[in-house]
Amino acid sequence: MTVQDTPQLVHSLEARYYTDPVIFERERRGLLARTWQYAGHESQVRNTGDYFSFEIAGESLFCIRGRDGELRSFYNVCQHRAHQLVEGSGSTRVVVCPYHAWTYELSGQLRAGPNIKAVPGFDRGKVCLTGVRTEVFHGFIFVNLDDNAAPMDEWYPGVRKELAEYVPDIARLEPLEWVEIPEHCNWKVSVENYSECYHCSLNHPTFATGVIKPETYDIQPTARGYCLRHTTECQNVEAMTYEIDLAKPHAGEYRSFFLWPMFSFQVYPGNVLNTYHWRAHDADHCTVWRGWYTEGGWDSEVIRRLAIQDRATTVEEDIRLVESVHRGLKSRGYKPGPLVLDPACGLNSEHSIRTLQQWMREGVDA
């Protein structure tokens, strides 16, 4: 039985799923450590020895390009006395711990350490940094703390191929700019808001009248895996807030691929790639990063103007919405209401939220 066929009322999640610190800690140790999470972009680590650090599920990690050209990710901790190895980003010939100068190859293998030869039976060949599963998805680097996790193509079937069809030059794209958006809400509140357009016409007038045609908007889960696919047509060309070339394949369409739990590729009309990714800090705070991309990261007046428009409209509008929802979830007067599950799906249906909340329950209860 599909969500659309469900005959009985389906109520939204109880408030505790968003507000309880115990549930957040369960997610951090479980769900967020067992799912594919965005780390960075290949353009950050073009050359041998380039690295950047990042955090996933409360763990400090870093990604580095080896002498063999491979990208590897490691827990950011020395195997000697647990000092963190790197901060920020940079380039290095070897990884040197700031505490006692234990030195690691770019492959993670211990190379040397002061006076370690004096230790009877010490075998440096048995000491290596702890690696993390890493995949590159059209230049975007993802990691999973679960060594046994299925590959991304099994988590998100068909997305790699379809995304390449909608953004034919994706292999040449690099970040033009990032916008960091702190939100005073639970990460699931923000993700849910992103994953429905029931609120769009009322709350996002610029997006709804100058980018997309709301009456064509739909969100569907993939038949398998953990992806929500947003689809719609672009607004009439004369109403668009930026110029597009409709001669290109799929230029008149909008596609979004939300990869559970915290990343989304968006393809705006005109084959414009942009992304969202989330980081959860605690039960009450998260950060959203909004990314815009151009070929080689070269400046584009059209994309710059579009990014500025987006920040001033959709982004600011969503901050107010999600923070209000989070405050409301803490009210003793809130009793979860039924989701609007229209059998025809479409703009004014919350069937995508039904799927999303099912994944949320599974993530907590697993």
Ordered strands of the 140-144 beta sheet: 37-41, 140-144, 131-137, 71-75, 59-65, 50-56, 89-91
Class for the domain spanning 3-32+153-365: alpha beta
Tokens encoding 79: 């195997």
pLDDT at 3: 47
pLDDT in tens, 108-126: 999 999 999 999 999 999 9
Cα separations in angstroms, 74 against 162, 198, 349? 30, 41, 42
Which CATH number is correct for 37-144, 2.102.10.10, 1.10.10.10, 3.60.70.12, 2.40.40.20? 2.102.10.10
Which residues are CB-contacts of 233 (< 8 A; sequence separation ≥ 6)? Answer: 212, 213, 216, 252, 253, 254
Tokens encoding 48: 């041998």
pLDDT at 30: 96
- Domains of the chain: which residue ranges? 3-32+153-365, 37-144
pLDDT at 7: 56
Indicate the pLDDT class of residue 5, thresholds 50, 70 and 90: low
Percent of the chain with pLDDT over 70: 98
355 close to 228: Cβ distance less than 8 angstroms: yes
9 close to 340: Cβ distance less than 8 angstroms: no
Tokens encoding 265: 């590729």
Percent of the chain with pLDDT over 90: 91
pLDDT in tens, 41-99: 999 999 999 999 999 999 999 999 999 999 999 999 999 999 999 999 999 999 999 99
Average pLDDT of the residues of the chain: 95
Is pLDDT of 158 > 90?
yes
Cα separations in angstroms, 154 against 161, 234, 276, 303, 314? 13, 30, 21, 32, 32
Dmax over Cα atoms in the chain, in whole Å? 78
pLDDT at 8: 76
Is pLDDT of 254 > 60?
yes
Angle between helices 351-365 and 187-194 (to 10 degrees): 150
pLDDT at 365: 80
pLDDT in tens, 163-187: 999 999 999 999 999 999 999 999 9
Tokens encoding 163: 């995304």
pLDDT at 366: 65
Is pLDDT of 2 > 70?
no
Predicted TM-score (pTM) of the model is: 0.94
* Unique residue bearing structure tokens 């060309």: 237
pLDDT in tens, 203-238: 999 999 999 998 999 999 988 999 999 999 999 989
Is pLDDT of 197 > 50?
yes
